[in-house]
């Protein structure tokens, strides 16, 4: 087996995506604030994502890691929108926690899972393109 067959964009992008979400989780842990369910004050905003007593508020969207996540995973965020629509139609409020996680938190989990499919497909396309170019180069050099 040659080295070119072991090299795979799909595997590299999946590994990179794993480390990306690991970095996101570390950033979340460091940037999140303690959260406890309470009656909202006048015009108080709900946190975007809540995980087991830790919340990521809207003001933290300016965070470099969050901005990068929104950009790099944009297709996955769009693909996860039906998840939010389903729960919104069922009247499940953003301010409620389900097993310690907000609806926004579950949306983020869905987005992270979809992102693995997103980057796997991108990797497969790149691998297919690379094989096509290699075949052309092999046939033209003969």
The residue behind tokens 């869905």 is: 110
Interatomic CA distance for residues 34 and 54, integer angstroms = 5
- Parse the chain into domains and list their residue ranges: 19-136
C-alpha–C-alpha distance, residues 83 and 65, integer Å: 23
- For residues 59, 62, 63 and 66, what is the CA-based torsion angle, rounded to 10 degrees? 100
Please report the beta strands in the chain, taking only residues with DSSP state E, as ranges in sequence order. 33-34, 49-51, 54-56, 97-98, 101-102
| Six token digits for residue 98 | 């389900």
* Total-model pTM: 0.75
- 8-state DSSP, 61: G
**Residue-by-residue pLDDT tens, the chain, 142 positions:** 444 557 788 999 999 999 999 988 888 777 777 676 656 666 556 666 777 776 776 665 567 777 888 888 889 989 988 887 777 666 556 667 768 777 777 888 888 999 999 999 999 999 898 888 877 777 766 5
pLDDT at res. 22 = 93
């Amino acid at each position: 087996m040659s080295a070119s067959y072991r090299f795979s964009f799909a595997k590299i992008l999946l590994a990179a995506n794993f480390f990306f979400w690991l970095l996101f989780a570390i950033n979340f842990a460091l940037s999140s604030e303690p959260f406890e369910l309470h009656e909202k004050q006048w015009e108080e905003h709900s946190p975007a994502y809540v995980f087991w007593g830790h919340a990521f508020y809207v003001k933290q969207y300016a965070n470099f890691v969050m901005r990068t996540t929104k950009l790099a995973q944009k297709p996955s965020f769009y693909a996860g929108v039906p998840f939010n629509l389903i729960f919104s139609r069922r009247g499940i409020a953003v301010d409620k926690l389900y097993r310690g996680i907000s609806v926004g938190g579950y949306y983020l989990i869905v987005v992270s899972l979809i992102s693995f499919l997103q980057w796997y497909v991108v990797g497969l396309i790149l691998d297919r393109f690379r094989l096509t170019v290699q075949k052309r180069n092999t046939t033209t050099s003969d």
